[in-house]
Every structure is written in C-alpha cells, then in structure tokens.
Amino acid sequence: MRRAALQIDLLDDCVFSASAATEGGHASLTHVPGSALLGAAAARVYRTLGPADAARVFHSGKLRFGNGLPWDGHSVGYPLPLSWHEPKERLQSRDDSKDYLLSDQIFNFLHDKSGAADPQVKPMRNGYVHADGFRSKPAHGLRMKTAIDPASGRAMEAALFGYDALQRGQSFMACIDADDDLDADLFKQVLGALHGSLLLGRSRSAEFGRALARPPVNELPAFEHADSADATRMSLWLLSDLAPCDRARQPTHAIDLMALGFPRGTRLDASKTFVRRRCYSPWNTARHGYERERLVLNAGGVITVVLPDGADRQALRNLLHAGLGLHRESGLGQVWADAPLLAELHPRFAERKESDSEPVPVAPGHPLLHWLTQQDKSWKICVEQKAEDMASEIRERIMAARRAAGLDEKLPFGPSRSQWGRVFEAARVHSGAALYKQLFEDDKAIIKASGEGWSIEVLVDKQWQKLADWLKVQLPVASRTKEEYAYLIRRIAHRVRDDIDNRRV
C-alpha cells in the first residue's frame, strides 16, 4: 500500500456540515472530511481521466482520501476512544495544564471496570488525543447571516441562518492511501491536484473555504501495534466513521464481521465494544442532490473481536490498513488495530516534544507603536477565555472541597460575594505588579491564607492546599502586561460572583 501525507492549513473559516438538515441549529464537523478532499481532487482531474480510470480512482475504494485530523506540528490527534473514562471530579491534568491528559486518571474499560466504583467515572467523548497525551479540540464558531432580497437589496424577512465553521489558522493532517495495484501515475496525478490552494466545504464562493495543502515538514510515524495478553482478541479503534454493511453490501448499523472481511469464526465481544451510531445523507454538489443515507458508527468507537484459532493476526492487521465497510474512498472505515494506547487499563503516553520556538524580538519603544498596540484589543479574546477557564476551575475546586467537608450547598463556604467584589475593585484601580501586591503581598492583602473564606483547603495534586496559596500560584503577574493582568482579574472576579449569585459555588 502506498501512502502520502497532506498538511492542510485553513486560510479561511471552513464549513463542514455534520448533517444535511435544513432545520435547527447548524453543527460543524471537527475535522476535514475525506469527502471534501475527494471533491477537490475530482473537480480538477475527473474530466481529464477516462471512464475506467475515473471509476478506479474515485469510486472503487482503491484510492482513499482520509479525514484531516488535528495536527500540532509533531503528531496527529485521533478521536478519543469511547472506551476511555475519566473521574467526574477530574480537577487537574499533567503539568498543571488542562490541555494534557493524566494517565492515571483515565480508565480503559476494555480491560477492567473496577475503576468505575472509586472514583465515579464518565465517558470521554469530545476531542482528540495525541501520542504524548495532548488533548486537542479544534476551534469553531457560529456566524449568523441573512439572505438578501434581490428586489430591495436589503435583508430578506425571516431568512436568518447561521454557519458553524472551523476557524482559520488551524492545521490538519490527512493521508491519501492507494492499493499497490493502482497505477502509480494516477496516484501522482491526484496528489498533484491536491497541492497548493484549495477550496473546501460549503459557501466556497463567498467568504469560506480557502485552505493550503502541502506535504508535512515532519514525517508521520507509522502505526504501531501492541501485543495483546490474549492472543485471540483484537481491538479496533475507529479513527473515522465506519459504515458497516451486510453480506449483500447493504448499509446497516449491525456489525457483521464476515461482511467486513474477517475470517469465518470471528466473534464480536459486545461486552468490550463501545460504539455510538448516527445516520446522515451527504449532499453531492456535482450531482446537485443528496446521496443515499449513510448508517455509520461514530469515530472514536472501539470494537473488540475474538479471532478463531489459527488466524494470522499480522496478515489481518495489514488487511485492515485499507479500512473497513462502505465509502472508504471518502475517508470512512479507517481503523487502528491493537493500538498501543488501548493496550492497558491506563494509557502510556509518549514523552512530550518541546515546540521549536524562536526568540521574540523586543519591540522598539516608539510612541506610535505604543499607540497602535493600545488600539489592538484582540488580546481580550484570549484573556476572556483564560478567565472563563480559571473561574470554572475555582468553582470545581470549591465544590469538591465543600463535598469533602460534608457541608450542605445552602451553607456559606469559601470567599463571599463581597470578598470577590473587593478583588474586582482592586483590579479596577490598580494594575500589574501593584495589583498583585494588593491581592497577595501587602500587609492588608485581600487574598491571604489567614483570611476568612480564603483559608479553605482545596485538593491540588492529591494534596490539600489553602485556596489563597493556590490562587497566588495560578495568577502570576509576570506573564502579562499591566492592562491584561487587571482585565483578567476583573473578569475572574465577575464570573465567580455570578456563580455565587446563581448558587453554583
């Protein structure tokens, strides 16, 4: 099998609809679907190919356009396995960062369910996991629009709609696979059509869809396989949606292993299988209509099969590289057999790779540059997100401490609304180091370990710590400008006071 990797950088927001529904809220996929790449390639080369070559390239499944999955420059993010569960009260991730998963806080139910009793756990459903434990969630946002009345040139009545789109600036990695018997020149011709500027997704003629496709700088690591303790069991991690079929090649939600190509005698272990299902009818732009409804098992599902005696495990792994089920040419049916991350109760993540960063040049102290910097308020978006995350973590830690103390939710616990009001007022008057001193270091500091409310103990890295001491570490002043730091503190205080008003703390 031949494989070529393709890095896709989004230059504009891109709309990839999760369904073709025309009513209700619009929802976008969190990846670049392989069908979008197939369509982009077909738009450029389909008419140049003869009928036989066109059928072989775009309809036979011998050439497969894989989904574009999140790419961080070093590794690909794969859909979180549905067999993974995490504690409901998970408070901390590795290196004190929510972006990295902590191995001992993940329970893989392929192996053991004893972890479900203590602590209580919930499935991990959203996001993608990288080899080093990084959990990525592609950013997307909703844009509201209205149709224009051609007669008046103004907004049309009752014609408001919205697009949920993947935001520009993100990178994804897709793999284009071809069987060995596909002509090498055809493979090169298709790859050439996918290099450079592309238009992907919906509303390509408007303001959406521009992307840049190119070979990645770093090579993709090959899929590794873990040896199972039980030689007869094989786990299948769905890296994309899987469209099962019966023995007549008709779509179905049932898992017929023989129809999928497994040897006779292979059994499904339903107790170790974790799948979710959906159905949708994709829109085909070239045909100006909907295709047949697709019944699929969602990406991230985990299927466990029991192989018959004498089955060649390695040969079956090699066969699975070409995918399973229907519509494989559009990126469906990609699986990872015996993935190392599913080999144990707690996954073993690889060592983190430090990003290659160049030193940032110091900006000259010119008055004009200072004035222009003050006009740019885009930093507020990042600070607002940080404030939301921090307020959420404060709420979770205080609630966990309340439960550990056995206090009723109606009883006051932790800093009061007026105490957070003092924090807000201090951030309105002071900024930078002066604000930090007012909050934590002054003789009359607002947030101090001996103060009422601030002295409660919260769980940090499996140890109890004063809330004031934890906040002092979490809110350093050195990482932000004076204005940013004051704005961050104000937004945190505002959000926590709102939580208190709504009895969420």
Sequence length of the chain is 505
CA 174 to chain centre: 15
Q: Is the pLDDT at 103 greater than 60, yes or no?
A: yes
162 confidence band (pLDDT: 50, 70, 90): confident
How confident is the model at residue 394, as a pLDDT? 93
Domain ranges of the chain: 2-79+133-214, 373-502
- 176 and 64 Cβ atoms separated by less than 8 Å: yes
Q: What is the mean pLDDT of residues 273-287?
A: 88
Q: Is the pLDDT at 161 greater than 90, yes or no?
A: no
**What digits encode the pLDDT tens for the residues 106-138?**
999 998 765 444 578 888 888 999 999 999 999
176 closest CA partner among 336, 11, 337, 329 = 329
**What digits encode the pLDDT tens for the residues 355-383?**
554 444 556 667 776 666 665 566 777 88
**What digits encode the pLDDT tens for the residues 393-434?**
999 999 999 888 888 888 889 999 999 999 999 999 899 999
Euclidean distance between CA atoms 175 and 300, whole angstroms: 18
CA distances from 58 to 283, 435, 482 (A): 16, 62, 57
Euclidean distance between CA atoms 101 and 94, whole angstroms: 6
pLDDT, the chain, mean: 86
Q: Is the dihedral of CA 260, 263, 264, 265 positive or negative?
A: negative
CA distances from 231 to 110, 114, 234, 237 (A): 15, 23, 8, 17
How confident is the model at residue 259, as a pLDDT? 93
Q: Cβ atoms within 10 A of the Cβ of 49, count? A: 17
Q: Is the pLDDT at 41 greater than 90, yes or no?
A: yes
- 247 and 316 Cβ atoms separated by less than 8 Å: no
461 confidence band (pLDDT: 50, 70, 90): confident
Task: Please give the backbone phi and psi of residue 463, each rounded to the nearest 5 degrees, phi first.
Answer: -130, 150
Tell me, which fold does domain 2-79+133-214 have in CATH? Alpha-Beta Plaits (3.30.70)
**What digits encode the pLDDT tens for the residues 173-184?**
999 999 989 999
- 332 and 241 Cβ atoms separated by less than 8 Å: yes
Q: Is the pLDDT at 464 greater than 50, yes or no?
A: yes
How confident is the model at residue 354, as a pLDDT? 60
Q: Is the pLDDT at 93 greater than 50, yes or no?
A: no
**DSSP one-letter string for 369-420:** HHHHHHH--THHHHHHHHHHHHHHHHHHHHHHHHHHHT--TTS--SS-HHHH
Euclidean distance between CA atoms 48 and 373, whole angstroms: 52
How confident is the model at residue 98, as a pLDDT? 58
| Token pair belonging to 40 | 């982009």
Q: Is the pLDDT at 473 greater than 60, yes or no?
A: yes
- 413 and 405 Cβ atoms separated by less than 8 Å: yes
Euclidean distance between CA atoms 26 and 94, whole angstroms: 34
Q: Is the pLDDT at 206 greater than 80, yes or no?
A: no
